[in-house]
Amino acid sequence: MTNITPILMAGGSGTRLWPVSRKSFPKQFAALLGDETLFQASARRLSGKGFADPIVMTNSDFRFIVAEQLEQIGIRPSSIVIEPVGRNTAPAILAAAMTVAQQDPRALLLVAPSDHVIPDSADFVATVRLGASAAEAGKIVTFGITPDRAETGYGYLEIAGHRDKVQALARFIEKPNAEKAIEMLVQGNFLWNAGIFLFRADVMIEAFRAHAPEYLEPVQQAVSEAHSDLGFLRLARAPWEPLPDNSVDYAVMEKADNLAVVRFSGRWSDLGGWDAVWQEELSQKPSDSGVVADDNSTAIDCQDVLLRSDSEDLKLVGIGLKDMMVVATGDAVLVADRSRAQDVRQAVTELKKKGHKQAESFPRDHRPWGWFETLALANRFQVKRIVVKPGASLSLQSHVHRSEHWIVVSGTAKVTVGDQVTLITENQSIYVPLGAIHRMENPGKVPMVLIEVQTGSYLGEDDIIRYEDVYARSSAD
């Protein structure tokens, strides 16, 4: 059987899991369940015998996170493809198909979101293999999840039969109301739509030609004019930017007549809300009280609640709570009834209207060289903790509005200020005057930690003029 090439979709924002998931670092890259991130678990699940190296579809902001998290689990991608702007799943999937088709038009591709939870990987892979023959024969195979409750948060697939392993798809159904969901659960011929598809590259391209031809020429141009950038593949911006923003379901799947469905009866969740996280945690660690509380949280006389604090310095205590979810990070707290889990995205919308940075950004800002976080911020000064990975370096840069004072806490920093290069170690410091061209590097084999004190009239991250950068970033990147 032909090897299957996984296409991991890793560009979403995951607003329903705010405040842990935000635009700057969404849920697929977070360790929501266990030590591995959802993205890493997805990549590992679709690796090994029978699978080719994966292709990851993502955006410029996440490219280094994707590369780092794959390296951590020892998976080497075939390609990390950078979409110039987000245009939903339709053009992304077509671009993946066209990229692979350049080498093998009949290659089998498995498109999968990178933020799903599937505990039984072996069972899921076996289910994928059930659909491989149909996909090789020219079918577009979708995977439906056997429902265990009347869920209103998922779309559904109506299947035309009950017995065959690979069944014909009758129709797609939008997220139903509660009454309709109960009715479909009782009938038994409806499955949750997992948004996972298996197909030949040339078959998907022809499906777009038949049902969404407006995508073909611009996406082909974006792929043809793509260029390599530090090992990433950047699709061309000019033809991509005007593309319609549409899901592959709407653009192609709901119109195609060569679709088939394979049923998966194992445990599955798209972690589409904190209620789903609560359910998944309970399935792993059953509790008579229905309480899910992490090590930083304490529940007293509570029933059916989720208590989670992602900060060791913020201890969360719930007393007498019922059917609640309370999620805390270092800079934000969510308190809501579990029945309102799907409304959490409204919180993000409201915070954005008020101009609060917590809507989209974390105090800890991940960069390709490491990360930094703001410890104190006031008029004309800011204090940051900066961690630089071994062998990594910041760009050669200068600032128009601020000077900086660096104090090394641990490790060794190689600092360039103007024409002078200095090694500074623990408890040593150096001053970077306003306007001076400078660079910080970690020449050691352990992470280097320093405290940065900025002073000046403007302290924004966009006050950077870059002269050289090993990560090929612009001043705004």
pTM: 0.89
DSSP H helical ranges for 243-319 = 248, 274-284
pLDDT surpasses 80 at 1:
no
Strand partners, 441: 393, 414
pLDDT surpasses 70 at 430:
yes
- Environment class of residue 43 by beta-carbon count within 10 Å: exposed (0-12), middle (13-18) or buried (19+)? buried
Q: What is the pLDDT of residue 196?
A: 97
**Mean pLDDT of the residues in the chain:** 93
Average pLDDT over residues 432-438: 96
pLDDT surpasses 60 at 250:
yes
Percent of the chain with pLDDT over 70: 98
Average pLDDT over residues 227-255: 93
18's CB contacts (< 8 A; 6+ apart) are 332, 334, 344, 345, 347, 348, 359
Which of 65-69, 358-362, 364-368 bottoms out in mean pLDDT, i.e. has the lowest?
A: 364-368
Which three-class secondary structure state does DSSP give residue 291?
coil
- Identity of the amino acid at 363: P
Name the pairing type of β-strands 259-264 and 166-173. Answer: antiparallel
Q: How many helical (H) and strand (E) elements, i.e. helices and strands, does the chain have?
A: 11, 28
pLDDT surpasses 90 at 476:
no
Which of 255-269, 311-325, 357-371, 461-475 bottoms out in mean pLDDT, i.e. has the lowest?
A: 461-475
Q: What is the pLDDT of residue 474?
A: 59
Greater model confidence, 154 or 101: 101
Which three-class secondary structure state does DSSP give residue 369?
coil
Q: What is the pLDDT of residue 43?
A: 97
Average pLDDT over residues 31-51: 94
pLDDT surpasses 90 at 129:
yes
Average pLDDT over residues 11-19: 88
The Cα–Cα gap between 55 and 239 comes to: 21
In sign, the C-alpha dihedral spanning 335, 340, 341, 343 is negative
Is the CB of residue 204 less than 8 Å from the CB of residue 166?
Answer: no
Q: What is the pLDDT of residue 14?
A: 78
pLDDT surpasses 70 at 224:
yes
What's the pLDDT band for 450 if we cut at 50, 70, 90?
very high
Is the CB of residue 297 less than 8 Å from the CB of residue 306?
Answer: no
Which residue shows structure tokens 């005007």?
242
Q: In 3D, which of 145, 61, 158, 52 has the Cα closest to residue 107?
A: 52
What's the pLDDT band for 400 if we cut at 50, 70, 90?
very high
The angle subtended at Cα 330 by Cα 324 and Cα 333, nearest 5°, is 25
- Environment class of residue 372 by beta-carbon count within 10 Å: exposed (0-12), middle (13-18) or buried (19+)? buried
Average pLDDT over residues 362-373: 89
Is the CB of residue 114 less than 8 Å from the CB of residue 28?
Answer: yes
Percent of the chain with pLDDT over 90: 86
